[in-house]
C-alpha cells in the first residue's frame, strides 16, 4: 500500500464527484468481498485497500484534507490552519493528494494500518474485530428512543445529545439506527451511536406482534341489523368500518395494513365486536328481551 494514491485505488479521477466515488467503491467492494473470494488473501487485501480509500474519499471533510495535505491531513490532532500558515511562511503550496502511505501514519496519532482505518467501516476497533490500541477509533455507544405508533408510521425528529435526528417513516420496534461519528471519541475519530427504536403502547389497543386489536362496543340492534362505525386508528384519526348484520360478540373484523410498521409495510388491525347488553329496570326492557327469544333456534 505504500505510495498508493487513494483515487487510483478506486479507479476514479481526482475530479470525481461523491456519487461517482460511491459507485466505484460499491463495484470494487462487491468484486473483492471476502464472502465472494474465500481463501483468497490477495482479494481480501484488495478489499481492505478499497474500503480504506473510501473511508477517506467518501467523507467530505476527510477528502478535503487529503486533497490539500495528503495523508498528513488525516493524522489525529492535525491543525490545518497552522499547516496553511506554515506553507505561506515557507513559500510552498499544498502537498496535494500524494501517494497514500499507510505505514507512515503509525505512531503519529493517526491510523496505524489498514485494519485500524477500517474500524469506521466495520463497527469496531479494526477489521476482523482487532483493536488498534492508541490508533483505534472511539467505541460505539448504545441508546434507545421511544416513539409513538404515529411517529413510527409517519417519521419524526427526535433530539439526541442536543442534535436533531430525523427518524424515517416506517421504522419498526427493535430497529437499530446508526448515527455515524456520534459515539465515543477516539484518536482515529469518534465511534457511532446506535439507537434502538422502541414503540410505546397505543392507548386502547392490545398488541400481538405487529398486529393490534381494538374492542368496539356495539348495541344489540347494531349487531343484529348491521351498522357503520367510526373506529380509531393507532396513528390517530378514524376509519369507517362496516359491521355485518348478525355479528356475534367476540367476532374479529380485520383491517389490513393498519397495524404496526413492519419491514414489508404494516401489520393488521383487528376490531373485536363487544355486544353491550342493556341493564336496569327500564319499562319495556323485559318485554323487548323476551321478544328476541322468538328469533333464536329452539333447543
Provide the strand spans (E) within 100-162: 141-147, 156-160
β-pairing, 261-262 with 265-266? antiparallel
In whole angstroms, give the CA distance from residue 2 to residue 5. 9
User: Residue 100 has what pLDDT?
Assistant: 41
Cβ density class 86-107: b for 16+ within 10 Å, e for less? eeeeeeeeebebeebebeebee
What mean pLDDT do residues 202-207 have? 88
The model's pLDDT over 170-191, given as tens digits with 9 standing for 90+, comes to 888 899 988 888 777 777 778 8
Q: Where are the domains of the chain?
A: 6-135, 141-199, 205-295
Residue 108 sits at φ, ψ, to 5 deg, of -115, 20
> Which CATH number describes the domain made up of 6-135?
1.10.287.110
141-199 and 205-295 share one fold: yes
CA-angle at 238, arms to 233 and 242, nearest 5°: 100
Identify any residues that bridge with 197 across adjacent strands, giving them in sequence order: 145
Q: Say whether pTM exceeds 0.75.
A: no
Q: Residue 288: count other Cβ atoms within 10 Å of its Cβ.
A: 11
Task: Note the pLDDT of residue 278.
Answer: 87
**Which residues touch 231 (CB under 8 Å, ≥6 apart)?**
214, 216, 238, 239, 240, 241, 255, 271
Per CATH, the architecture of 205-295 is what?
Answer: Sandwich (2.60)
Question: How many whole angstroms separate alpha carbon 72 and alpha carbon 62?
Answer: 11
Distance (Å) of CA 97 to CA 67, 68, 89, 226: 5, 7, 21, 76
Give the residue with greater pLDDT, 97 vs 232. 232
What is the CATH T-level fold of the domain 141-199, as seen in this structure? HSP40/DNAj peptide-binding domain (2.60.260)
Amino acid at each position: 500500500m505504500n505510495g498508493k494514491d487513494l483515487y487510483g485505488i478506486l479507479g476514479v479521477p481526482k475530479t470525481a464527484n461523491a456519487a461517482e466515488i460511491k459507485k466505484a467503491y460499491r463495484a470494487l467492494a462487491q468484486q473483492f468481498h471476502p464472502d465472494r473470494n474465500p481463501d483468497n488473501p490477495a482479494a481480501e487485501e484488495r478489499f481492505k485497500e478499497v474500503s480504506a480509500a473510501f473511508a477517506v474519499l467518501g467523507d467530505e471533510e476527510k477528502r478535503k484534507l487529503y486533497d490539500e495535505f495528503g495523508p498528513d491531513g488525516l493524522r489525529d490532532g492535525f491543525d490545518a490552519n497552522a499547516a496553511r500558515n506554515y506553507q505561506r511562511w515557507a513559500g510552498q503550496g499544498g502537498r496535494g493528494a500524494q501517494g497514500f502511505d499507510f505505514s507512515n501514519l503509525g505512531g503519529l496519532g493517526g491510523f496505524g494500518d489498514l485494519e485500524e482505518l477500517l474500524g469506521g467501516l466495520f463497527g469496531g476497533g479494526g477489521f476482523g474485530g482487532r483493536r488498534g490500541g492508541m490508533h483505534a477509533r472511539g467505541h460505539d455507544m448504545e441508546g434507545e428512543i421511544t416513539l409513538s405508533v404515529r411517529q413510527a408510521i409517519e417519521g419524526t425528529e427526535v433530539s439526541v445529545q442536543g442534535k436533531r435526528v430525523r427518524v424515517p417513516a416506517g421504522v419498526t420496534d427493535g430497529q437499530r439506527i446508526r448515527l455515524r461519528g456520534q459515539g465515543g471519541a477516539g484518536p482515529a475519530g469518534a465511534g457511532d451511536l446506535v439507537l434502538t427504536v422502541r414503540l410505546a403502547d397505543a392507548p386502547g389497543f392490545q398488541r400481538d406482534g405487529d398486529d393490534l386489536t381494538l374492542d368496539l362496543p356495539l348495541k344489540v340492534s347494531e349487531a343484529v341489523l348491521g351498522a357503520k362505525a367510526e373506529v380509531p386508528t393507532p396513528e390517530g384519526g378514524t376509519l369507517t368500518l362496516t359491521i355485518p348484520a348478525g355479528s356475534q360478540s367476540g367476532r374479529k373484523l380485520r383491517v389490513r395494513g393498519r397495524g404496526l410498521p413492519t419491514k414489508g409495510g404494516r401489520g393488521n388491525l383487528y376490531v373485536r365486536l363487544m355486544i353491550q347488553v342493556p341493564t336496569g329496570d327500564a319499562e319495556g326492557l323485559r318485554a323487548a328481551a323476551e321478544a328476541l327469544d322468538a328469533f333464536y333456534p329452539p333447543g
